[in-house]
Every structure is written in structure tokens, then in C-alpha cells.
Amino acid sequence: MRKSVIFIFLVLAAFLQISLLDYLKVFGVKPDLLLISVFWVSLVFQPKEALVLSAGAGILKDIFTPYSFGINTFLFVMFSLLIIRLGREISIDSNPVRFIVLYIVSFCNTAATRFIFFFLGNIVPLHVFLRVAFLGSFYTALIALLSFRIIPPSEKTA
């Protein structure tokens, strides 16, 4: 699969994230399509390609969100490295394992983002953080399982 097609997919995921998914919110949270994309490319592509595509997804999310630029780029690359390393240690081929790993990655992404914002002076109330962290991570992992039925992350590309 060509990297340019995947990058177009990332741009499409970014536009869906900021437009259409606003109508599919559950309790004020929506799935993170770009984080799902990072998970997918980390499982399918070789490490260098996965890191480049993950950085691209992070840049897109940084462009389209009102947060400090660079946070998502850094976190997406770190989570891509984590998923690549974890994929070498355990098999991430079954749906329950994918769900659990993506739930944990999504939760850690939310926690790390809120932790960084706390030190930047943007304090989020605890009940909002907990709702976004737990429900948003669950929603993201659930949507990922549905999307992996359409485009399964089964084989590494050369």
C-alpha cells in the first residue's frame, strides 16, 4: 500500500474527526480516528514508515485542534513506538487484545494530554476528565474494532 494513499486516508480521518463525528458524540465524547490510524499504521507498516505516518497524524491533529501545537505529534510518535515494541512482545492479532491495547493507549493519550494542559494552566474539572478518559477511550476502541473489520491490520508491509 502506498504511503501517499495512507496519508490521504489520514487527512480524510482528520476532516471526519472535526466535522462529521461531532454529530456522533456520546455523552459529549467522540472517537479519536487519528489515534486509531496511529494504532493501525503501527501494526501494519515497518517502524520507520509507521513513525513518519504517526507524526503526520499528530501534525494533522495539532493543526485542527485548538491546543498547543506539537503535543499530539509527540504523543502519537511515542504511542507508535510503544505499539511497535508491544507488537514484538505479544501478538496483537485478536480483537480482544486490540481492544484492550487501544483502550489503554487512548486512556494514556487523554491522561498525558490533560496532564500537559494542567501544567500549561488549562485545568479541566475532574468529572470532565474522567468522562472523556474512560468513555472516550471505550468509544475509540469500539470504533477501532468496527473499522478493523473493514481494513484489517493483519500483515506487515515490506
Could you give the C-alpha distances from 30 to 2, 3, 60, 82, in angstroms and in order? 29, 27, 17, 23
Grid coordinates of 109? 493519550
pLDDT in tens, 13-30: 877 777 777 787 788 788
The 3-state secondary structure of 24-51 reads HCECCECCCHHHHHHHHHHHHCCHHHHH
- Average pLDDT on 95-118 reads 88
At residue 158, the pLDDT reads 44
The residue extents of the domains of the chain are: 3-150
Grid coordinates of 157? 508491509
Residue range 3-150, CATH number: 1.10.1760
Residue 94: CB partners within 8 Å, gap ≥ 6? none
- Average pLDDT on 87-105 reads 86
pLDDT in tens, 131-141: 888 988 898 88
With b for 16 or more beta-carbon neighbours within 10 A and e for fewer, the 78-90 pattern comes to bbbeebbebbeee
How far is residue 76's CA from residue 105's CA, in Å, rounded to a whole number?
Answer: 10
